[in-house]
Amino acid sequence: MLMIFNLINTGSMTFFQFVVYQQPYGQFWLTFLLLNALGLSGIFFGFFTVSLTSFFLLYYLSLVNFIFIFIWQIKVMEKKNMFQFYVVEHDAKSVRYVR
């Protein structure tokens, strides 16, 4: 997959370098080598940026979910005194819940 992206990227940069700008980088073989290196580095930094951005987006979403869905609901329930605590009394035969 990376080879296909690199081929497309190098082909498009070669088109612009020779057809649009009409000026190679020094010798002919050096132009393809430099364009190939530019294409690979661009693809690497593009994938790196996308993966880093997606990591931080998922990190932020999980942080928001934890704070506002888990902790915030506990605080609201504490303020409204919605917690009902039960003390469990049990012996060998029965279990009884005492409020």
Report in angstroms the alpha-carbon separations of 40 from 22, 55, 61.
22, 22, 31
Per-residue pLDDT of 58-95, as tens digits, reads 888 888 887 777 777 666 666 666 555 555 566 666 66
Tally of domains within the chain: 1
Per-residue pLDDT of 27-63, as tens digits, reads 666 666 777 777 677 777 777 787 888 888 888 888 8
DSSP lists the bridge partners of residue 87 as 98
Residue-level pLDDT at 91: 65
Residue-level pLDDT at 2: 65
- The domain in which residue 17 lies consists of 2-98
Residue-level pLDDT at 77: 66
Residue-level pLDDT at 90: 62
